[in-house]
Amino acid sequence: MTKFSPYWWEDQPKYSESNGIPVKADVVIVGAGFTGLSAAITLAKSELSVIVFDSEEIGFGASTRNGGMLGSGHKVSPQQADKKYGLDIARKIHKEANASLTFTTNLIKDNNIDCDLQICGRLRTSWVPQDQVSMSENLNKLKAIDHFNSKMIDPNLMSESIKTHLYFGGQYYQDHGSVQPRKFHYGLHQLAIDSGAKVFGNKPVKKVTRLSTDEKDGFIVSISNKTINCKNVLIATNGYTRPTLSKYLSRRILPVPSYIITTDEIGIERVNALIPGGHCIVETRKRYCYYRPTPCGKRIMIGTRAAMHSISAEKALPILQKTLSEIFPELDGVKVSHCWTGFTGFSFSMLPNLGSHNGIYSAMGYCGNGVAMAPYLGHMAALKILEPDKKVTVFEDTSLQSRPYYFGKPWFLPIASVYFKVYDKFDNYRRNKYL
């Protein structure tokens, strides 16, 4: 019987709670995901007193619900970034994408975090032949910006990586990898605690109030019937940013759901036969499927856009099963062990941002690419708090934008779901023209 909770949560140790909420701290961080914990580690190691609050149980959010794909890259191409921000910033945006992968990979290795890290590579598959041409052109531009360990895969060689007839070639990212995200998050939590940070779950922050017009005077952070006096505040809630916490940020981050299933155990041999390269795989089509072997090698995990708006995991299950059997007809009828959902945080610029509004710092907007970028930007946010007059990342230039029709509740996402359903049919039509 399918469990409607994340596969990654099975048989994992419980998080330890810190004792006693202090009345004062140097920094209060709102959000105990990858971003918040990474920031807490850097700040605590710099001998600042740090408190991290999460509105739910520790480990509840997207940091333990994602696909665990560790990679670089953005949903904005070098050409798009150049047009919007200029060549210099465009180059830095894509250099820092590589830097985020290096940072997070080294964070895991240097601290011996037991999270099933595998440098297995990632394959981006071409849904139509034109996608292969576009990716090749984009790759040449990326290599002109920075060292980029990637290559194009000829359609005739795709069977060495994946056994399906859906795709017209692909692009292989050799340095990309995968983790068990709940284990990674647990490891970051332990590091934060060991560094001296205090982390509390089930403590929603009700309000952040400035003590005066002078930012140096700090803030009062209110949780239920308690208040904490602090010098700085970092909001790191991404797709779980509530309007009651910050109207400013909730107008600038869209909570877009993602849906994932894992198969029952089908055996290492069968998984290897279907994904002989052992890679993480993503698609170019708008439906945006992503899939990989689980760390044990006996199951396949697949995520996709079952809807743009929030629907239940139970409702999403048949959509995901249909997508799985479309990619691998041999798995038609295979039972699903787990099906779950969680919220990613999308910015309107489609890029992450490190910013400050009314003296309150924020780091968010990963657009589905947060496994490597969120720990990196959390670290950068900590450096910014330590040296506020110093520019620490190009993502200070990718300002969070709002829209006049959006006030924190994405009423229009059901309409977007209809649009993407129509686009899915158009995508299939385009593809079928080449068969």
Per-residue pLDDT at 424: 82
With respect to residue 2, please indicate whether it lies within any of the assigned structural domains. Answer: no
Structure tokens at 165: 């007839």
Instruction: Say what the alpha-carbon torsion angle 220, 389, 77, 347 is, to the nearest 10 degrees.
Output: 10
With respect to residue 1, please indicate whether it lies within any of the assigned structural domains. Answer: no
More confident residue, 431 or 93: 93
Q: Which CATH number belongs to the domain containing residue 370 in this structure?
A: 3.50.50.60
What CA–CA distance (Å, rounded) separates 61 from 238? Answer: 10
Q: For residue 385, what is the enclosing H or E element?
A: helix 370-386
- φ/ψ of residue 312, rounded to 5: -70, 155
Residue 261 has pLDDT above 90, yes or no: yes
Pairing of strands 150-153, 170-173: antiparallel
Structure tokens at 10: 């099975």
Residue 51 has pLDDT above 80, yes or no: yes
With respect to residue 220, please indicate whether it lies within any of the assigned structural domains. Answer: yes
Average pLDDT over the chain reads 94
Q: Output the DSSP codes for 12-51.
A: -PPPPPP-S--SEEEEEEE--SHHHHHHHHHHHHTT--EE
**For the segment 162-179, what is each residue's pLDDT rounded down to a tens digit?**
999 899 999 999 999 999
Q: Is the dihedral of CA 3, 7, 12, 18 positive or negative?
A: negative
**For the segment 285-302, what is each residue's pLDDT rounded down to a tens digit?**
887 899 999 999 999 999
With respect to residue 333, please indicate whether it lies within any of the assigned structural domains. Answer: yes
Scanning 294-352, the segments in alpha helix (DSSP H) are 313-327
**For the segment 360-396, what is each residue's pLDDT rounded down to a tens digit?**
999 999 999 999 999 999 999 999 999 999 999 999 9
With respect to residue 392, please indicate whether it lies within any of the assigned structural domains. Answer: yes
Per-residue pLDDT at 73: 81
What CA–CA distance (Å, rounded) separates 50 from 199? Answer: 9
| Confidence category of residue 127, pLDDT binned at 50, 70, 90 | very high
What CA–CA distance (Å, rounded) separates 15 from 200? Answer: 10
**Is residue 78 helix, strand or coil?**
helix
Structure tokens at 325: 């059997």
With respect to residue 326, please indicate whether it lies within any of the assigned structural domains. Answer: yes
Q: What is the mean pLDDT of residues 314-321?
A: 96
What CA–CA distance (Å, rounded) separates 218 from 214? Answer: 8
Going by the DSSP 8-state scheme, the letter that residue 3 receives in this structure is: B
Q: Listing from the earlier edge strand, what are the strands of the sheet with 300-304?
A: 150-153, 170-173, 122-125, 280-283, 290-293, 300-304, 253-263, 336-347
Q: What angle do CA 253, 373, 167 make, to 5 degrees?
A: 90
Residues 6 or more apart whose CB falls under 8 angstroms from that of 411 comprise none
**For the segment 20-40, what is each residue's pLDDT rounded down to a tens digit?**
999 999 999 999 999 999 999
E-strand stretches of 276-422? 280-283, 290-293, 300-304, 336-347, 353-357, 360-364
**What residue type is 419 in one-letter code?**
Y
Count the Cβ atoms, other than its own, within 10 Å of residue 350. 16
Question: Which residues are paired to 229 by β-bridges?
Answer: 24, 220
Query: Which residue range is the domain that position 26 belongs to?
Result: 7-432
Among 357, 387, 396, CA closest to 89: 396
Number of domains in the chain: 1
| Confidence category of residue 148, pLDDT binned at 50, 70, 90 | confident
Percent of the chain scoring above 70 in pLDDT: 100
**What residue type is 45 in one-letter code?**
K
**For the segment 77-90, what is each residue's pLDDT rounded down to a tens digit?**
888 888 889 989 98
